[in-house]
Amino acid sequence: MLLISTFTLLISSIIMILTSTLAKKTISDREKNSPYECGFDPSSSSRLPFSLRFFLIAVIFLIFDVEITLLLPITSTINLSNVYSWLSVTVFFLLGLLLGLYYEWYQGALEWSK
């Protein structure tokens, strides 16, 4: 078993080293690194400033979306489990969500305008 594990580790390491050395592109050209705009030189910078505020709000939305996905099966599992264990798990989960919401509110992550 140890021999098979060592052989597998050795083969995977060799493959990773080969792919990292063969995949490197060494040719750096100004034309290849610039954005393509129908053959013309770009008129402005292709790197637009990104709002960090928008990014944080999007991440918070995704987190709450996943939390809702985790909350939905709780109602259907009440008949399949003990009521006291179901209630304790549900209260613990909701308390964790509410503490996270309070922390985000306290840190000012939910402020829309600044």
pLDDT in tens, 86-97: 899 899 999 998
Residue 73 lies in a domain: yes
What is the span of the domain harbouring residue 70? Answer: 55-107
What is the Cα–Cα distance from 11 to 2, expressed in whole angstroms? 14
Cα–Cα distances in Å, from 70 out to 48, 77, 92, 95, 103?
36, 12, 13, 14, 20
Report if pTM > 0.75: no
Residue 37 lies in a domain: no
Task: Give the per-residue pLDDT at 71.
Answer: 86
Rounded to the nearest integer, the mean pLDDT of the chain is 81
Length of the chain: 114
Highest mean pLDDT among 32-36, 44-48, 49-53, 84-88: 84-88
The mean pLDDT of 60-68, rounded to a whole number, is 86
Residue 71 lies in a domain: yes
Query: How many domains does the chain divide into?
Result: 1
Residue 24 lies in a domain: no
Residue 113 lies in a domain: no
Higher pLDDT, 80 or 24: 80
